[in-house]
Amino acid sequence: MTEQLQTRDTNAEVVLELRDVSKSYGGVHALEGVNMVVERGRVTALVGENGAGKSTLIKCVTGLVRADSGQILMNGEPVSWRSPHDARAAGIEAVHQSLGLADNLDVASNIFLGRERARGWLRARKLAAREMRHDAARMLHDFGVRVPVRSPVRFLSGGQRQSVSVVRATGWGSELVVMDEPTAALGVRESDLVLSLIKELASRNLGVVVISHNLDHVLSVADTVWVLRRGRMVAHLTGDEISSSNLVRHITGLEEAERVDSPE
């Protein structure tokens, strides 16, 4: 079992909770008794070194894999996803590092990818392209994203592509958005755009989970930070506890070394 961590702000509404979640692959314990909560209207960061278990945890949350034990609760109710489709139907959207955009399609088509609208019957049925472009433009404008809906995605910058992926994830009644390395390989200006979008999502009372190795970006957006190390949740930081030095200490395990070396 992991050490007991303070898991929530009692004044905030919890959208997602993990209780003693464990997952193993053969003899490798990817997650061991992990507890975590995600609250509405707050940006929750998940950090840790490569191999800490972040990807496995997110796969459990988004339905890509099933935990071996423990509980996942959505809005206080236990859930068990059979597939990512189940998680999406419940309001969980993931923005993966690969973004999952189709370069050969335009922005509107990407926003409606997998949710295409059509008109007519049987052989006369065709895509409602004009309607989708209109609604895509409205969704982009709502988030302050200035991207032409007719532009093929392959012509967009990294920041614009990330923005399209975020808008796509949040335009369908989402309750929780999980973002994996959202600013990876982006320049300063484009990173600022994406970080602003992350804050905007939280301001709309969504639960937002950000997985990132960029601690400066974590510090700029996170209201609360969970730290995974070797499959165990070792720290939960809020408020003034969220500092670069604290994050590095918990990520690397220096706080344990300091306890061992301190005099009795």
pLDDT value, residue 262: 52
Q: What is the pLDDT of residues 1-54, one digit of tens each?
A: 334 455 555 557 999 999 999 999 988 999 999 999 999 999 999 999 999 999
In angstroms, the Cα distances linking 25 to 18, 28, 58, 62 are 19, 5, 15, 18
Residue 146 lies in a domain: no
Structure tokens at 198: 């992350």
Residue 248 lies in a domain: yes
Residue 83 lies in a domain: yes
Confidence label for 253 from pLDDT (cuts 50, 70 and 90): confident
The answer to whether the Cα torsion of 59, 210, 222, 199 is positive or negative is negative
Residue scoring higher pLDDT (227 or 172)? 227
DSSP category for residue 145: -
Residue 139 lies in a domain: no
Residue 226 lies in a domain: yes
Percent of the chain with pLDDT over 70: 91
Residue scoring higher pLDDT (125 or 7)? 125
Residue 92 lies in a domain: yes
Instruction: Yes or no: say if 60 and 44 are a contact pair by the CB < 8 Å rule.
Output: no
Name 261's Cβ contacts closer than 8 Å, sequence gap at least 6.
none
Confidence label for 229 from pLDDT (cuts 50, 70 and 90): very high
Distance CA 20, CA 86 (A): 22
The answer to whether the Cα torsion of 142, 147, 153, 154 is positive or negative is negative
Instruction: Yes or no: say if 33 and 234 are a contact pair by the CB < 8 Å rule.
Output: no
Q: Using only C-alpha atoms, what is the Rg of the chain?
A: 20
Structure tokens at 140: 């982009």
Number of domains within the chain: 1
Structure tokens at 235: 């720290």
**26-40, 62-76, 94-108, 189-203: the lowest-pLDDT one:** 94-108
Residue 142 lies in a domain: no
| Domain span at 96 | 14-103+175-261
Kindly report the pTM of this predicted structure.
Answer: 0.85
Q: In terms of C-beta density within 10 A (0-12 exposed, 13-18 middle, 19 or more buried), how is residue 167 classed?
A: buried
Beta-sheet pairing, 176-180 with 207-211: parallel
CATH code, domain carrying 44 = 3.40.50.300
Residue 161 lies in a domain: no
Q: What crossing angle do the helices spanning 158-170 and 188-203 adopt, rounded to 10°?
A: 10
- Average pLDDT, stretch 243-250? 94
Statement: residue 64 has pLDDT above 70? yes
